Structure 1
Amino acid sequence: MSMERKIIALALAIVLIAAGLAAGLVWLASQSNVPSEIRVGYITGDIHHLPYAIADNQSVGGGQSIFLKHGLNVTPKGYASGAVIMENGFAQNEVDIAYVGAAPAISKHLNLGKNLVNTSIISQVNKEGSLIIADDSIDKPSDLVGKKVAAPNKGAIQYLMLLKFLEENGMNISNDPKPYSGTAPYTGSVNYTDAPVGTMKTLMQKPVTDPDHISAFIAWEPVGSDAVAAGVGHILATSHDIWAEHPCCVIVVSNSFAARHPDAVEKFIAAHKEAIDWINSAKQNQNSSNYDLLVSIAKSFTAKNDTVTKSALAHVKYDYAITDSFKAMLKEFTEKMMDFGIIPSDKLTYNGNDYSNVQDFITRYIKEDYM
């Protein structure tokens, strides 16, 4: 090789090395605010939060989880309810990002105040997916009068759904201090109690004379499908019947975490969207190997059998989009929770909150920056 060709080859090698270094530096810069760990909260056994399990599964990702493909190392932390995630997970700085019901995400942020729970909604997770299950003594809504009915807690979206269902059928809760305000003719009241979702089926099986017996409950899936499969109760109404296309769960982020690690939050949402697209594609082709994998992962995540899992999946609509309709329904949720006394109206300006009205709150609480 002539000297001239050697010089040209050397120059080309230097250019290639420089280009590689530049690309490496760009990649490092893009990773600069991605932390070594992201603490992720979710409700244990709640099939609404299945997108987390999908994004964290190596088989779905082709040997590497979707999270890892996006450069994220996630550490999961399960909770009993969305209210607990907000009160403990975020207020006690146990999580950075979490899958939470829209109702507790809104009510706990407002009721506890930004000084304690400084969070934002950054994506949708699912629509619908809850069931009202009743025992054999209940054939129609009015049969609930005088009976004991349970929901996970008063901060849950299921409680809000129950109140709306009762109001539309001429009923209210016996210990509700507010007078009945529904448009349907008043038929009576029900006795309400909180109940952990894991106990609902057992409480319904107790003798009617037992003070802990409940005649009906509303819960997220797969709790309802599990009770039906066990022969404990039947579906009185789905949340689709009560409030069609209603948002249910959302992704909530700590605002301080997002300020420090915006790239990590953006990558998390990218992984979340990929997981939901995979779920919806698998659900559309129930003869595919991906659907079989979906059911397998969901069974493991919920600890339920094939029948229950498939029934539960059929009741849930997974969606990440932040649309005008989504925002409008969260505004309606907030107004309903104020009407029902779940959120006192003065909480808009409580403990660091500085919202002029509900619309101002919704506009600022939902952030689309990471979509």
Structure 2
Amino acid sequence: MSSRIRQLATTTAIALLAGATLAACGGDDGPAQDASGGDQATTLRLGYFPNITHAPALVGVENGIFAENLGDVTLETTTFNAGPSAIEALFSGAIDATYIGPNPAITGWAQSQGEALQIISGVTSGGAALVVKPEITSVADLRGKKIATPQLGNTQDVALRHWLKEQGYATDTSGGGDVSVVPTANSEVVAAYTSGAIDGAWLPEPHLSRLIIEHGATVLVDERDEWPGGEFVTTHLIVSKEFLAADPDVVRDLLRGHLAALDYLATEPEAAATTANDHLEALTGNRLTDEILAASMDNLTFTVDPIASSLYGSAEHAQDAGLLDPVDLTGIYQLDLLNDLLTAAGKPTVDGEAAG
């Protein structure tokens, strides 16, 4: 198992009371038991990011959808700025499950030799791009420039480094090479761009739409163009393998809430977008403008499909970029609980073992 948390990114903990307390029916009732026969957890600790790419988590927390579906299990939430920090929290036992991008999940799987986590659902596809200053109009113009990503080894960092290598540019993890890759927190990227500290960034929504709409950046690479069919996993839901084994019923209820949040986004997109924005404001103190919110939501697809082929592709990209040793991803998906719920709802099941 990996090392303990060294230092987590600034987190926001929000405790929600879940549902009504079950009334005693007489006698001395013991703790609730899960399907495995053990005592059921009384708390689920869930991680997610204050990003619109995590909209199902944002609306699920803000509207009490998770709390409603978890019943008498209390939800505690923590937010992260990038995936590696969330993985460290999962390793240490500080959280039980988290919404996260593909590459940190791959790295966590590799570091723990498949013992720490499993992917239990898809969440989001799309919503990532390389945006640059208007004077950068071609790949050739990138030589000598500084391009930001949210964090070394995160999903967008891997995407940028892989793409630059395909273009013939060398990079390294200390910011050297033909193009300097500069890890910059999403919350700091606008300031870095406007000050001239960076010339562009490969980053997710809503930050890329903000750079475009408010600061005149232009899209040099839309990541959808780099994947077959324009589909790639931006966010999926993972759970501690230990927690899943001990409390499958709690995980099932989390997935039930996750599906309800996805349904809300699909059936009431405008209301759901506003709800997500409300929660972003509560977390960060900042609210997206209507224009940026609309642009961001239009650039995203919320889906239960984990788009497994792109996960395998992302692993190959991380290996090519020198950020990951070869890894066997067999067994990283555990979609039985999800598919049971989808079948019961009369919806198509999803596949987690597609070849890359």
2:183 paired residue number: 194
Correspondence for 1:102? 102
Instruction: Give the equivalent residue in structure 2 for 1:270.
Output: 256
**Residue type of the alignment partner of 1:245:** E
The answer as to whether partners of 2:83 and 2:101 remain within 8 angstroms in 1 is yes
1:219 equivalenced with 2:198 (yes/no): no
Map of 1:320 onto structure 2 = 304
| 1:369 aligns to 2:336 (yes or no) | yes
| 2:46 is aligned with 1:49 | no
Counterpart position of 2:68: 68
* 1:33 and 1:263 in contact (8 A); partners too: no
After superposition, the Cα gap between the structure-2 partners of 1:320 and 1:81, relative to the gap in structure 1 and judged at 3 Å, is same
* Cα 1:308–1:118 shift into 2, 3 Å: same
Superposed CA offset, 1:3-36 (max 9, x none):
xxxxxxxxxxxxxxxxxx8xxx9xx666975422
Letter in 1 for 2:131: I
- C-alpha displacement at 1:262, in angstroms? 0.5
Distance 1:218 1:90, change over 3 A: same
The equivalent of 1:172 in structure 2 is 169
Q: Aligned ranges for residues 319-358 of structure 1 at < 5 Å?
A: 319-322=303-306, 326-345=307-326, 348=327, 358=328
CA-CA distance at 1:193 after TM superposition: 1.7
Structure-to-structure mapping, 1:1-371, within 5 angstroms: 33-43=39-49, 45-58=50-63, 65-71=65-71, 72-87=73-88, 89-110=89-110, 112-114=111-113, 118-168=116-166, 170-175=167-172, 189-207=178-196, 213-243=197-227, 244-283=230-269, 286=270, 292-293=274-275, 296-297=278-279, 303=286, 304-322=288-306, 326-345=307-326, 348=327, 358=328, 361=329, 363-371=330-338
What is the aligned-residue identity percentage?
Answer: 20
Q: 2:76 corresponds to which letter in structure 1? A: T
Confirm or deny: 8 A CA contact 1:299 1:306 kept in the other structure.
no
Q: Secondary structure at the match of 2:268?
A: helix
**1:158, CA displacement in angstroms?**
0.5
Code of the residue aligned with 1:330 in structure 2: it is: L
Are the structure 2 counterparts of residues 162 and 291 from structure 1 closer, same or farther at C-alpha, using a change threshold of 3 Å? closer
TM-score if structure 1 supplies the norm length? 0.73
Taking the aligned partners of 2:34 and 2:171, their CA distance within structure 1 comes to: 56
Displacement after TM superposition at 1:194 (Å): 1.3
User: Partners of 1:290 and 1:162 in 2: how far apart?
Assistant: 31
Aligned counterparts of 1:343 and 1:269: Cα–Cα separation in 2: 30
Unmatched 5+ stretches in structure 1: 1-20, 59-63, 178-187, 208-212, 349-357
SS at match of 1:193: strand
How far apart are residue 128 of structure 1 and its match? 1.2
> In the TM superposition, what whole-angstrom CA distance separates every residue of 1:188-242 from its partner, at most 9, and x where no partner exists?
93122211111111111124xxxxx111111111111122222252222222123
CA contact (8 A) 2:70 2:250 kept: no
**CA distance in structure 1 between the partners assigned to 2:199 and 2:215 by the alignment:** 14
Higher helix share: 1
TM-score, normalised on structure 2? 0.76
Deviates more, 1:271-280 or 1:289-298: 289-298
Alignment RMSD (CA, Å): 2.9
Count of residue pairs brought into register by the alignment: 303
Does the Cα contact within 8 Å between 1:33 and 1:264 map onto a contact in 2?
Answer: no
Which protein is bigger by CA-based radius of gyration? 1
* TM-fit CA distance, 1:135: 1.1
Contact 2:34–2:247 (Cα < 8 Å) also in 1: no
Distance verdict in 2 for CA 1:34–1:192, change over 3 Å: same
Q: Is the 8 A contact 1:50 1:298 kept in 2?
A: no
Equivalent residue of 2:178, what SS? Answer: strand
CA offset at residue 282 of structure 1?
A: 2.3
